Structure 1
């Protein structure tokens, strides 16, 4: 591959990373969906799935030749460029979202509600024959999401262990096209805190979140792939319910900022329309 062609390919990957990062900052829009639409989802999952914790042994033993071979297997340049794009979008978008939440709270939260409701519907439509079992998992997920987001009032705090756990859970967005990483941080009541940490470039919190995400990649990727392959209906139905139930927290936050129907109704509809457009592009 010539240098010019390689630079062009890396620029394309970086732009895809920017789009994925911008979407992952917004609850309800999945960076995985953007990866699917832009044609890099399978490459991304293949690269993540090829990550082997045993590679660290090669470094510790000074076997850098074997370590270099491991990097080639996981498509290392692709991951580095893509993550650079995602990180850039995180840093830029964090300030924008914080401003919107601070000065246009009801409109922003209503938009998020529309995004999540529409995303849940799209995710459930992936189940061709849900049956009674699928409906049962849908109900279980809805109940779990409703009560789980209610725990936000207890507030687990923003200690480094909590942030580490949040990073582990949020990594699901890279594996499941229908789930947003920001949505997971929202459920765990860390969303606005992590936005502020990104804006102020608070390294301890950012690094802890990233290490948690890396740990989640190593632990969860193969498990999630197995569940999707062997228990897809139950998995998708439960996740759909979880998303629907979690709108409780958003509704409460929106209500604290104003009247959802009067001030946020049009933004709620706009969120639904955005997901509809994304799904239309994906299917085309």
Structure 2
């Protein structure tokens, strides 16, 4: 009698190879040998009577049959993984929240005391990262980020606020008095501090203020926004930043925003895997939305 479903172990091996584009990496993830994965793939191909992979350079490529089986396997395994993860989660286990390091240091950490008072049953494990997380949000229950839509289809997205950016300068900057009453084109004569984590911020702000982005002079660059703003506070030049990350510095007089802030196409968002049913994510999103308001 023929099977109406493939062997589970063989299907797991196939799905891992298709997802990771590597027999070796699939074997490592499944904690089996390279040969065991290869035998599973061969068994599936013999049962189907058609190849699932073809050699492409040094790697593997899915055949049309392979693509069809991979799509079905993804649909089957993704909710199983999510349900298993949630069922294994201990009661009151921390919510693993990914967050850019600069946002974590300048905005999230100063609010943790208030979050603990408002949501005493929520324990966070904060995982800093300067890159936008991949579509699978690997290793995270949710991620707080500033980015532009469209969003990956694999995410459930809680948009929190429109991103607003503007130039900021410290009171120790040599030309700060001239900037207080100057028009935005005064920046064309200055080397501007910038960050690799948001390379288009200055160009975006310039266009929205009627300036030619190609006329800007970029000066010292920093790997992270945190260091960029430290440099601005030290009087080393004019930086550009999201408004919520500098609001407290402006209230304390450590930074000045001569031309205010403008809306961008970016959004503050809390994202989670689409199939997540963790109720803490929606509650945290509502709390963050209130803080940003």
Q: Same fold (TM over 0.5)?
A: no
Higher strand share: 2
Larger radius of gyration: 2
Please give the range of the TM-score, normalised by the shorter of the 2 chains: under 0.3
Higher helix share: 1
The TM-score, its normalising length taken from structure 1, stands at 0.24
